[in-house]
Chain A
Amino acid sequence: MKPGSIHPISSLIREANRIFFDMGFSFAEGPLLESERYNFDMLNFPKDHPSRDMQDTFFIKGEQGNVLRTHTSNVQTRYMESQMKKGVPPPYRVVSLGKVFRNESSDMGHESEFFQIEALAIDRDVTMANLKDTLQAFFRGIYGGTSVEVRFRPSFFPFTEPSVEVDMRVSGAHIPEKLRDKWMEMGGAGMVHPNVLKNTGVDPEKYQGFAFGFGIDRLAMLKWGIDDIRLMHSADLRFINQF
């Protein structure tokens, strides 16, 4: 019998998890319907603050304080809190791959539901230089290519300080032309804000580390030259059976 195809997102998740597993990261999860506590409060988003506008949030009718998670960063706070409650202090290395939501209308580049990869590394001495190298290793794994460069630009996220935007440039003959030798915006990253560590019970005087979050759909679109993000949820085998 002719085998079926797995979804390109699932293939990418499988590949990303393998790359991070080999670097010591465990796969962690969190709920999609999340409390504002884990999605915002513990991540250092002040209440009634303009930083919450950066996220177009879906709220749930009749359930005050519940939202569809706007990022996989809820896993950061949940994971660290549960470890500390179990009496397990850092080092931590976790990766989370799952669905997130933004309340916006869809077009070729935007979808209200998409997938995100988040990684978190906490120890006494995890640095921003480690972040740069980890990202390079990840992109090299996903895209191959003769050279993979990572560049940071200043940014702001309530849960990281310093915060950066991550750009990537890959070279190599097999890289799709749209991607080859060009700086591409990949997503946000930074050093975990001391308040986030404190909120989960981790002592920010002793521990530090990095976190990043990227759209998996975008990673996949760049990898395979997919032109429309809406194909991901189209359930159309004309698309899926190509993978």
Chain B
Amino acid sequence: MKISRNWLQTFFEKPLPEAQVIADALTFHAFEIESVEGEILDVKVTPNRGHDCLSHRGIARELSAILKMPMKVNYGGAAPLILEPKTDALKITVENSQLCPRFAAAYITGVKVGASPEWLRTALESIGQKSINNVVDATNYVMFNVGQPLHAFDASKLKMKNGKLKIVVRNAKAKEKMIGLDDKEYMLSEFMLVITDGNTGEAVSIAGIKGGKPTGIDEATTAIVLEAANWDGVTIRRTSQALKLRTDASDRFQQVISPELASYGLKAAVDLIVKFAGGEVVGHVDEYPVKQEQRTVTVSLEKINAVLGTKLPESEVADAFTRLGLPYQCNEMTSHCMFTVTPPFERLDLVIPEDLIEEVARIVGYDKIPATELPAFPNKPGINANFYAAEQKRQELVAKGYSEVFTSVFAEKGERMVANKVDGVRPYLRANLTDGLKDALEKNVRNKDLLQLYKVKLFEIGTVWKNKKEIMMVGTAEEGGPVSEEPLEAAVASAYDDLPISKTERYQPFSRYPFIVRDIAMWIPAETKQEDVLEVIRKAAGELLTRSEKFDEFKKGEKTSLAFRLVFQSFEKTLTDEEANAVMEKVYAAVKEKGWEVR
């Protein structure tokens, strides 16, 4: 989520530190930061904080706790906001209040739709949003400011009956259609929720996700119905997935936000609209039958320290709660303190003692947690019979010259199939290892000269899905020989053997380009050393020579015949025959210069 430093500043009297300092503060105490570009931070809000942190205010509250900077305004602990005045010109009916716990709305007349003031346009554009008009921008601003999504309907496009507007929230009918503000037609299903014009029965909005085109705000709009509602997260998520329609509103509602927030959001948006677009608030309606309960969560100082492995004093824990704006009571027990915290309404994530422990840990700082060795384990660890068997097999095959490969479990054919593979290729789960091993063998045989192998031999210990079972198999493949597999038989043992681990220090990248092989044979005097010959060849051939190996030697009188296989390869391109020939000419010249006779 894009967060603007300048926007955050509106929550504080004192100047905020620079963006990078804010990023570091959040990284080590709250959220990962995807990027910092100028004054804009991309904050990765975790799913447990989607309730309260998908807004500038949410992030500001975190910063306030981390940087110990008091905020100008905070809702937490304030008396509930009453939406006044009321009106009966607009009637709201919610059919199922479990799926729509709250529906608040304001009816405003006499507005003048136009461009937004400069600061509002700049604020929205700074976080990648398009400015539309003063009414729509006000609703978007409130959403990014405090986290409550809102929607404005053109009231004149709703049907008035007996001087009254009527809104009904109900489940969609099967195949009910609505054209969204994005000009797309959506076909709805019965589990989805719609906001409808109660006087016509028409859907005017896909609840919590997208408003309808026919009742949208335009230049001619003069009266609006402004909605700030609260929706069931699962319904919004399922609807959004089914319609493949994700919006900033659905992103927030699917995380579940507090119904208490609706009135704050509505009040803020009404104030902005009246300020920019003029008009008069006819009144509010607020369908909120079951109020959010106030919850308390209790954790003892002893438990906090027992989970974290720390020795935090009571004062440090109390300070963390105070900084986070979490009102608490501390009841002295016989030997320790019990903290009873009353989370503010938006902190729906704080439910169990461990949630509070995490709050303390991240605010105090994870660097305060020491590293303490686990005590010795009272029981002897078990020897896993499958792993033991696999390790034995691995060692046995390596000793026989086989190298271990892993091939993909995804295959062209098999008994079971992945339903949703993103790349669409090889959708089956393999039913054997041999198909993959055959391919691997073929690929590696092509590189035989490069690998300097007499014979390519491979093995794989891996899972296959066959006869409706998941089985571990051992497969082997040998050049010019059989490719076969058999189930890995578990082996009971009393201890693991001390098997070798790789001694390699560093991987050396290899060229992905094809290589060229040339052989050279020559007569040399019996007393000349083979290493000296190789040295001359390597020096003359230069860096394109990647492998050089003697493959033949015999004596005839005073002379020795040596034959070498030379492999040429470039890191930059595919070598041509001409290039290989040119290198060979240099090698021949160097050999002749030494007085050795090329055969």
- Contacts from A to B (Cβ < 8 Å): 1-12, 14-15, 17-18, 21, 23-29, 31-33, 47-51, 53-54, 56, 58-63, 68, 91, 93, 99, 103-106, 112-113, 121, 125-130, 132-134, 136-137, 150-156, 161-165, 174, 176, 191, 193-194, 208, 224-227, 232-233, 235-243
Contact = CB atoms under 8 A, between A and B. Distances in A.
A225 B387 contact: no
B451 interface: yes
A12 B234 CA distance: 42
Contacts of A152: 366-367, 369
Contacts of B361: 128, 154, 162
Nearest to B459: A4
For the complex of A and B, the 8 pairs showing the least CB-CB separation, nearest first, are A129-B309, A24-B377, A127-B309, A156-B46, A162-B358, A152-B366, A235-B405, A235-B440
Interface string B373-395: 11011110111101100010010
In terms of DSSP, what is the predominant structure of the interface of chain A? mixed
Nearest to B445: A237
Given A33-B465, A61-B419, A51 B47 contact: yes
B234 A48 contact: yes
B381 A5 contact: no
Contacts of B404: 4-7, 10, 240
Contacts of B75: none
Contacts of A8: 502, 504, 507
Given A4-B457, A161-B354, A10 B394 contact: yes
B126 interface: no
B450 A238 contact: yes
Interface of B: 27-32, 46-50, 233-234, 237-238, 254-255, 306-310, 352, 354-355, 357-358, 361-362, 366-367, 369-374, 376-379, 381-384, 386-387, 391, 394, 397-410, 416-423, 429, 436, 439-440, 443-444, 447, 450-451, 453-454, 456-460, 463, 465, 470, 496, 499, 501-502, 504-510
B379 A24 contact: yes
B501 A11 contact: yes
Contacts of A105: 422-423
Contacts, number: 270
A19 to B, nearest CB: 11
A103 B421 contact: yes
A136 B374 CA distance: 12
B377 A127 contact: no
Nearest to B465: A33
Nearest to A93: B377
A174 B503 CA distance: 13
Given A224-B506, A233-B406, A130 B423 contact: no
Nearest to A208: B307
7 contacts: A3-B400, A4-B457, A21-B381, A27-B383, A112-B423, A155-B32, A176-B506
Contacts of A224: 504-507
Nearest to A106: B423
A228 B456 CA distance: 24
Name the residue in A9, A26, A121 with the highest tally of chain B Cβ atoms < 10 Å from its Cβ.
A26
B403 A164 contact: no
Contacts of A56: 422
Nearest to B441: A235
B451 A1 contact: no
B418 A58 contact: yes
B310 A18 contact: no
Contacts of B30: 154
A153 B24 CA distance: 11
Given A6-B502, A161-B355, A191-B354, A242 B508 contact: yes
Given A32-B463, A233-B408, A241-B451, A225 B370 contact: no
Name the residue in B369, B400, B417 with the highest tally of chain A Cβ atoms < 10 Å from its Cβ.
B369
A202 to B, nearest CB: 15
A133 B372 CA distance: 5
B47 A54 contact: yes
A8 B98 CA distance: 54
A26 B421 CA distance: 34
Contacts of B234: 47-49
A163 B234 CA distance: 24
Contacts of B422: 56, 103-105, 112
Contact of B418 (A23, A32, A61, A104): A61
B50 A24 contact: no
A90 B27 CA distance: 35
A60 B418 contact: yes
A134 B374 CA distance: 7
Contacts of A137: 373
A162 B349 CA distance: 12
Contacts of B450: 238
B416 A33 contact: yes
Contacts of B421: 58, 103, 112
A236 B401 CA distance: 16
Given A125-B306, A126-B374, A236-B444, A58 B420 contact: yes
Contact of B49 (A53, A136, A156): A156
Contacts of A134: 374
A214 to B, nearest CB: 17
B480 to A, nearest CB: 16
A50 B254 contact: yes
